[in-house]
Amino acid sequence: MIKYDVIIIGAGASGVFMSYEMTKLKNNAKVLMIEKGNALSERVCPIDGKKIKECISCKTCNIMNGYGGAGTLSDGKYNITTQFGGDLHRYLGEDMANELMYYVDEILCQMGGSDAKLYSTTNSNLKTVALRHDLHLLDAKVRHLGTDRNIKILSKIYDYIKDRIDMIFNAEVKDIQNLEKGFCVITENETYYCEDLVLATGRSGSKWISQICNKFGIETESNRVDIGVRVELPAAIFEHITSEVYESKIVYKTEKYNDMVRTFCMNPYGEVVTENTNGIITVNGHSYSDPKLRTENTNFALLVSNKFTEPFKDSNEYGESIARLSNMLGGGVLLQRFGDLVKGRRSSQRRMEKCFTRPTLKAVPGDLSLVIPKRQLDNIIEMIYALDKIAPGIANEDTLLYGVEVKFYNSKVEVNDDLQTNLKGMYVLGDGSGVTHSLSQASASGVYVGRILAEKYQ
């Protein structure tokens, strides 16, 4: 059994920034980080750049797993806000949560992100225009690094911590045992001991975290999942919004059902991509800082929040079942023109050939009404017509809808204000805890616990 003081399971945003902070602060802790995915240099999707665009369902998805976590190959968007992206402020307080997110932003700038503009929606004229149409723009500051710059920054952080933090990749943790003092972490090839254990497995580790919590009697709550589509349209339609605030989190309460619909992950001049979560293919979006990599389109998600009440508890399984249906009908992601959807007809290859909006993702033309429940689809259609009032052209016939997009929320793990469970020495961080839902808040949680453990091992 190899002994460490601290073991971090997962090299996502929270794990990476915790490692950074423990490297920066003087302490004597012997630290190991275990990651089931690849090192950063090896995180290449096998179909990237190939003629085949469909996901081939690798055992460990390079898009979702590996050094930096799911955020590595995302568009590198860090939102500094407590209005969305998690509940870290409920544990640390508003001031501390904001202070930590600004600190994360400083690190990103020091590591090569200073050229990326920091946008703000706080004093935007867009907020007033949106309110006139019952649309609500949430306050946030956002620094968009771009997928390309984001990878370079993470590489620099890796170089900074590599001589201080032991890191093992392609190592999946099979079991954890609680000892009289500390924990035993068991992988396929080795067994490790530590006094303090940090679970930082991110979104893709949701089921694993739930299993660990069930094993040790740690309370969890799981009752929310967001289901929707990714919208793609000519960038010019949203240019007046994206040029001012870049990322606009707009919330709308539908008249028909009183449900909440929101925009999410806006990618000006970006591309639509697939991602593999637990073997299920869903859709997402990227954008780049390099002008040479930009497309003619903007994409963003429209998501309907689904919060379930007793007795149903497995909200993620509900979302997965809808995504599986899309995979069943289309072999992956389905694509439909907005005009075809509202006319009640499927998009065929022939209709797509006449479409003026050129899709950035090769997807199967089909009928989203056969996949997405009527209530959610009605909400999405109503939201598109509402957005059309502030950005005319969104409700055009050739606006493209990719489905499905699902945002899985990890079970919210019961932790104290130090993000420690009732099992002394076991911490749960980042999106894996259900406490955070964003790169900024996940990173901030890592910094916070990094400081706690650095002080312990002075």
To the nearest whole percent, how much of the chain has pLDDT over 90? 76
Q: For the segment 368-384, what is each residue's pLDDT rounded down to a tens digit?
A: 999 999 999 999 999 99
Helix (H) / strand (E) containing 120: strand 118-120
Q: What is the mean pLDDT of residues 74-78?
A: 85
Per-residue model confidence (pLDDT) at position 449 = 98
49, pLDDT greater than 60: no
Amino acid at 37: G
- Percent of the chain beyond pLDDT 70? 97
pLDDT at 181 over 50: yes
Amino acid code (one letter) for 287: S
pLDDT over 80 at 123, yes or no = no
The 8-class DSSP code of residue 109 comes to I
- CA–CA gap between residue 396 and residue 72 (Å, rounded): 33
Strands (E) in 159-294, as ranges, are 166-168, 173-178, 183-187, 191-194, 196-199, 220-221, 224-234, 250-253, 260-267, 271-277, 280-286
Q: Which residues in 116-128 are b (16+ Cβ under 10 Å) and which e?
A: beebbbeebebbe
The token pair that represents 21 in the structure block: 């902070």
Instruction: Please report where in the chains the tokens 């706080």 appear, as a residue.
Output: 122
Residue 105's pLDDT is 98
H-helix or E-strand spanning residue 3: strand 2-3
The rounded distance, in Å, linking the Cα atoms of 262 and 383 is: 8
Statement: residue 350 has pLDDT above 70? yes
Close Cβ partners of 286 (under 8 Å, ≥ 6 residues apart): 73, 74, 75, 147, 267, 270, 271, 273
Is the pLDDT score of 60 beyond 90? no
For 81-92, the DSSP string reads: -SSSSB-HHHHH
Residue 55, pLDDT > 80, answer: no
d(C-alpha 92, C-alpha 107), whole Å: 20
Q: How many CB atoms lie within 10 A of CB 449?
A: 26
Helix (H, G, I), strand (E, B) or coil at 287: coil
For the segment 302-312, the average pLDDT, to the nearest whole number, is: 84
What local confidence, expressed as pLDDT, does residue 53 receive?
A: 53
Nearest Cα to Cα of residue 440 among 56, 12, 80:
80
Query: What residues does each domain of the chain span?
Result: 2-126+141-221+411-456, 224-408
- The answer to whether 322 and 372 are in contact (CB under 8 A) is yes
Model confidence over 81-108: pLDDT tens digits? Answer: 999 999 999 999 999 999 999 999 999 9
* Whether the predicted pLDDT of 227 surpasses 80: yes
Which pLDDT value is given to residue 51?
Answer: 44
C-alpha pair distances (Å), 345 with each of 366, 372, 401:
9, 14, 14
The average confidence (pLDDT) of the chain is 92
Is-contact 306 409, C-beta < 8 A? no
pLDDT band at 346 (very low <50, low <70, confident <90, very high): very high
Residue with tokens 């996502």, as numbered in its chain? 12
Return the top range by mean pLDDT from 56-65, 285-294, 315-324, 434-443. 434-443
According to DSSP, residue 69 is labeled G
Half-sphere exposure of 44 (CA within 13 A, CB side): 7
Q: Structure tokens of 376?
A: 């959610």
pLDDT category at 6 given cuts 50, 70, 90 is very high
For residue 411, what pLDDT is reported?
A: 79
How far is Cα 1 from Cα 441, in angstroms, rounded to an integer? 34
Residue pLDDT, tens place only, 394-430: 999 999 999 999 887 777 899 999 999 999 999 999 9
In the numeric block, which tokens belong to residue 149?
């710059």
Return the pLDDT at 48: 63
If one looks up domain 2-126+141-221+411-456 in CATH, what number appears? 3.50.50.60
Q: What pLDDT band is residue 52 in, cutting at 50, 70 and 90?
A: very low
